[in-house]
Amino acid sequence: MVRVGVTGASGFLGGALVPALARHGYDLRLLDDRSGPIEAVHADWPVAREDFRSPTGQRLLGDCDVVLHLAALSGVMLCAQEPERTRAVNVEGTAALFRDLAERSVPVAFASSFAVVGVPERLPITEETPPRPTHEYARQKAQGEEALLRAAGAPSGPGGAVLRMSNLYGRYRIGERVIGKGNVLNLFSAQARTGTLLVNAPGTQRRDFIHLEDVVAHWVGACAFLRGPGARGRGTVFNVASGETATVLELASRVKGAWARLHPDAPALAVRVVPNPRGDIELLQPEFTVDRSRTERTLAVACRRSLENSLDEILGD
């Protein structure tokens, strides 16, 4: 069996990815230091409580055929407020992991973000769009990408993949627990029950939105890609995005309409623009388009979920 290591295996994405990898027949080596806000552990697939930088973590991962590196101290505000602590994990620790895996000829995929592209010189954003980070979180992700390309993606390296993810939405269940993340759509779902949707100013900032199920499919595809002959000795960037964009105000309007349809007797939702707590850090550009054609062609993965066919499910949880 192919041994697949996953760091950050009990985080939001890891908890959704693990069952999908198991369904594909992989022998899983899972670890997470459980320092994050979400603990998504499945009874059928135990997760070692280990930092990926620890000797035990290094031993578990070094014995794998592929490693998917999800672990990070993530978040725009956390990286801005605690740059030294987050860099120790997201930059130094990640680079050391990639060097160690390259020495053991283990290919690796890295969880990156569209934040790395900053304000690109041209649109749409493609897999070749270079990093132009504008804040600490984006800089750390960009340096993680660079470390992967330098180690795993070197001509003599085992191969590596960078998965730049756009705005994830969606939830899943582990037993009776609903596992979600504080992204804008999930926040709107919670706020709808109070009667008012709070939009961070200015509201015209545009984002690409991709359902968690489609993100998981991309990671499973990347795992298979790294096992193939075309991955070795190179680093490949993938755009994990749907191509479906909306401004935050447009998204609020769609949530308002879906809520009215689901609750015809309830008062209409109000939409209120409020000060943006990340306004001096977050990019607020009103234009944002993504081309994912090379990703779709290489990984043979199409996005099957859309905002239209997901809103009722999210608002109904």
Mean pLDDT of the chain: 94
- Please state the pTM of the whole predicted model: 0.96
pLDDT in tens, 231-264: 999 999 999 999 999 999 999 999 999 999 999 9
β strands within 108-186, DSSP E: 108-113, 160-165, 167-169, 172-174, 177-179
Asked if pLDDT for residue 91 goes beyond 70, the answer is yes
pLDDT in tens, 6-59: 999 999 999 999 999 999 999 999 999 999 889 999 999 999 999 999 999 999
Domains of the chain, residue spans: 3-167+209-240, 181-208+244-287+305-316
Asked if pLDDT for residue 317 goes beyond 70, the answer is no
CATH placement of domain 181-208+244-287+305-316? 3.90.25.10
Task: Characterize 81-110 residue by residue with b for buried, 16 or more Cβ atoms within 10 angstroms of its Cβ, and e for exposed.
Answer: eebeebbebbbebbbebbebbbeeebbbbb
The CATH-assigned architecture of domain 3-167+209-240 is: 3-Layer(aba) Sandwich (3.40)
Per-residue model confidence (pLDDT) at position 167: 93
Per-residue model confidence (pLDDT) at position 130: 96
